[in-house]
Amino acid sequence: MTKDDLEILARINAGPVREEAREKALNAAMVAFDATMEEQQNSAAMQAEVDIDDQKNNLQTQGLKSTTRRTFTINQMWSDFMNSTLKPAWSARPSTLATISGALVLPLVAVVAINVADIPFSNPPERSVVQHQAMNPSSNDAETSVQPGLAEVKESLLNSTAETRQGIAASSSERTATRGKALRLAPRTQSSGGMLSLSSKGAGIRALDSIRPLPVPIVQDRERYPQFADNGVTAVATSPVSTFSIDVDTASYARVRAMLNSGNLPPKDMVRVEEMINYFDYSYPLPASRSQPFKPTVSIMPTPWNEHTHLMHIGIKGFDIVQQTQPKANLVFLLDVSGSMNQPDKLPLLIKSFRLLLQKLNPEDTVSIVTYAGRSATVLDSTQASDRSAIIGALDNLKAGGSTAGAQGIEQAYRLAEKNFVKDGVNRVMLATDGDFNVGMSDPGQLKDFIANKRKKGIYLSVFGFGQGNYNDTLMQTLAQNGNGQAVYIDTLAEAQKSLVEESGGTVFPIATDVKIQVEFDPSKVSEYRLIGYETRALKRQDFNNDKVDAGDIGAGHAVTAIYELTPVGSPAVLNSPLRYGDAKVVKPTEFDGELAYLKMRYKLPGQSKSILLEQPVTVDQSPRKSGALSEDAGFAVAVSAFGQKLRGNPALQDYSYAQIAKMALANRGEDRFGYRSAFVQLVRMAGSLTK
């Protein structure tokens, strides 16, 4: 209906109408118009802000992208009509008011229909259900005399949504009551012109608001994970040497746990078996002195899921550092405060988590804080950890908003780390984010090279992930691996306590860098082998002796586990057929007859460029003790490895159930100081239930 149409209706002669009904009809129409106009203007402004942010974030925006909504244009037409036609008609031609009152129903219904069709489902404002408030019980007769009566139309519209409103009335009763009081019509007084007036435009029944359906937010899953195939079975006759970099990341286990706790099985690429195994602490033997930062322990045991193979378990425990002997630390907190961080499990949890870390720092350690959103900013320059109030104050004042210029933040954080560089100490950037970078240098290759160059200067990078739906696990793994740091995922404050308090030494203070493992198998005793996990950490054979090739790092107190599945010569489990021309019998000196394999490890002390070699044979009789911590640790690590393989759908575990995995983990739980192993057993059972 256009403005011209309304003007035609205004000129139509109509029969007499009661004065009281005419006043109430016009007054109610003005109230509904003012309330709707005010609301739609606010909604248009809110939508404009959302559209601007969405364009900056390169997000897909549903609905209208214009800052002027369709309803706003119609409201403007309605306003012109009310001011130019209806009000003059009131004073000049009172007899036409009955017809005009009836005509008010049509544009009101049109506004309602367009509002319902125009609800923005992308980042919508929250709405409450407003219960109908009667204007005045004594005026019912006057209202119903208007044909077709605005009050009757309003009541009809409200009744049509009664079932919807009843379904959510219980949960919204408190908010409804509060808002209902604020929206009641104010007492009416007689104006000088003989009309009834209101005390304010904002008062009144918002009928349009009460009939809108509650919008359902659409959550986009933009998470990315490294894609890789499980290590296959390798024939020793053709490839007797296995080489890989160690890994102390734990992000995969925490991500899997969060997914299972939400009632869903994790996607295959979310599961990295080595990170699940290394999430737990193990009581492997410690080295005798700090000069040798770790000592490998090797054992052979039967395979629970295959009676025709054996497992070779390699355990490493890093030398721990007491807080009083920690090297001086220069830490830069690089914190993501973009708009997507405005969720309870993101920025608020991040702030609480980093506050916990302060208690593990010595007074002379320094902390700087750099934030990034649409641009980066230094919110706290280098400050000694003894000034806890200044650091906590800077953290507590952080707010989320804007796009994600993460690369710019990384550059600024490294500049700050270089400015406050501590010689013979720890210089580390600690990145905390929920996703990837969409402003500035975002190419993984560029970031990798930038971070690797800074690593050579003695500045390391660790990554802490928060939240779900936007986490770029691929990029976070790349950054941590090239920054000589650890990738951690924090989904609860308990996880923050584990990573930043209980294991703060391993998270912040390295004791060995570029740690590589190489195992050579004896083909006269081992026919095949399969490394469980470490697919993204594989190295070439020649990389082992090349000190220029980067590898993983071990922090103070860290435990690292690697497990091989071995197929003995002559076992019915052998998968590879013998070679036609390469199956000659291997003749070995008698001095090696008792060996299955030979283990070699290389590592560098922090700040050093030349590696140190450790090596030892693996003999047939190296089995874990029948009782004690070593047996329990090895058995529990095997249970975790089985769980990871099962979640990835590895055919080797096809006939081994989640119930059997839970039973094995429970039998080897041992001393469970913080309850992490018991929680794992429950997690396995939950996965079993979700697969049924």
Residue 431 lies in a domain: yes
Peptide bond into 148 cis (omega under 30): yes
| Residue 463 burial (CB count, 10 A) | 26
Predicted confidence (pLDDT) per residue in 33-60, tens digit: 665 665 555 555 555 554 544 444 443 3
- Domain C-terminal end among 463, 481, 508: 508
Mean of pLDDT values over 355-369: 95
For residues 530 and 190, give the distance between their C-alpha atoms in angstroms, rounded to a whole number.
91
Interstrand relation of 196-197 and 376-384 (parallel, antiparallel or unpaired): unpaired
**CB-CB contact of 572 with 557 (8 Å):** no
* 418 three-state secondary structure: helix
**Tokens linked to 154:** 């309003």
- Based on the domain organization, do 190 and 283 belong to the same domain? no
364 and 287 share a domain?
Answer: no
Which domain does 118 fall in, by range?
3-211
Mean pLDDT in residue range 440-464:
84
pLDDT in tens, 548-600: 999 999 998 899 999 999 999 999 999 998 887 766 555 555 567 789 999 99
> What is the pLDDT, as a whole number, of residue 645?
98
How far CA 582 is from CA of 235, 493, 578, in Å, comes to: 12, 57, 8
Helix, strand, coil tally for the chain in percent (to 5) = 45, 20, 40
Eight-state DSSP code of residue 538: B
SS3 track for 485-536: CCEEECCCHHHHHHHHHHCHHHHHCEEEEEEEEEEEECCCCEEEEEECCCHH
Confirm whether 47 is domain-assigned. yes
| DSSP annotation string for 301-318 | EEETTEEEEEEEEEEEEE
For residue 140, name the pLDDT band (cuts at 50, 70, 90).
very low
Domain containing 652 — which CATH number? 2.60.40.1230
Look at residue 613 in the predicted model and tell me its pLDDT: 96
Residue 343 has pLDDT above 50, yes or no: yes
Same domain for 329 and 274? no
The residue to which tokens 């259900």 are assigned: 129
Residues 521 and 628 both lie in one domain: yes
pLDDT above 90 for 690: yes
Are 304 and 652 within 8 A, CB to CB? no
Strand stretches in 439-491, DSSP E: 459-465, 487-489
End-to-end alpha carbon distance in the chain:
58
**Hey, what are 423's tokens?**
């010689």
Evaluate whether residue 669 is within a structural domain: yes
Residue 133 lies in a domain: yes
> What is the predicted pLDDT for the residue at 487?
93
Domain count, the chain: 3
Whether residues 300 and 349 fall in one domain: no
Q: How far apart are CA 231 and CA 519, in angstroms?
A: 15
Q: Which residues contact 478 (CB under 8 A, 6 or more apart)?
A: 444, 447, 448
Q: What is the Cα–Cα distance from 618 to 597, expressed in whole angstroms?
A: 5
Q: Is 224 within the bounds of a domain?
A: no
- Kind of pairing between the strands at 595-604 and 510-521: antiparallel
Q: Which two three-digit tokens encode residue 567?
A: 């197929």
Q: At what angle do helices 444-456 and 406-419 cross, to 10 degrees?
A: 10
Distance CA 82, CA 89 (A): 10
Residue 225 lies in a domain: no
Q: Which 3-state string (H, E, C) describes 642-671?
A: HHHHHHCCCHHHCCCCHHHHHHHHHHCCCC
Tell whether the model's pLDDT for residue 191 goes beyond 50.
Answer: no
CB 643 within 8 A of CB 276: yes
> HSE-up of 541 (CA within 13 Å, CB side)?
6
pLDDT for residue 244 is more than 80: yes
167 and 295 together in one domain:
no
Check whether 532 has a pLDDT greater than 90: yes
pLDDT at position 218, please?
A: 38
Do 202 and 299 belong to one domain? no
Residue 678: what pLDDT? 97
Answer yes or no: are the C-beta atoms of 474 and 228 closer than 8 Å. no
Identify the helix (H) or strand (E) that includes residue 101: helix 97-103
Residue 83 DSSP one-character state: I
The last residue of a domain, from among 491, 508, 525: 508
527 and 629 fall within a common domain = yes
Instruction: Tell whether 221 is covered by a domain.
Output: no
Range 123-143 average pLDDT: 39
Residue type, 439: V
pLDDT at res. 455? 92
458 Rama class: left (phi>0) / alpha (psi -120 to 50) / beta: left
Co-location of 307 and 355 in the same domain: no
Q: Decide the pairing of beta strands 459-465 and 487-489.
A: parallel
Q: Say what the pLDDT of residue 286 is.
A: 85
pLDDT of residue 585: 55
Same-domain status, 64 and 158: yes
Q: Tell me the two tokens of residue 152.
A: 């009757």
Q: Are residues 175 and 127 in the same domain?
A: yes
Q: Which of 21-30, 189-198, 278-287, 407-416 has the lowest mean pLDDT?
A: 189-198
Please give the share of the chain, as a percent, with pLDDT higher than 90: 49
CATH number, domain at 483?
3.40.50.410
Is residue 631 a part of any domain in this protein? yes
pLDDT of res. 58: 43
Q: Give the pLDDT band of residue 65 (cuts 50, 70, 90).
A: very low
Which of 20-29, 168-177, 306-315 has the lowest average pLDDT?
Answer: 168-177
Name the domain boundary from 508, 525, 542.
508
Co-location of 86 and 36 in the same domain: yes
Average pLDDT in the chain: 77
Q: Is pLDDT above 70 for 248?
A: yes
Measured CA to CA, the distance from residue 663 to residue 684 in angstroms comes to 10
The answer to whether residues 601 and 515 touch, using CB atoms and an 8 Å cutoff, is yes
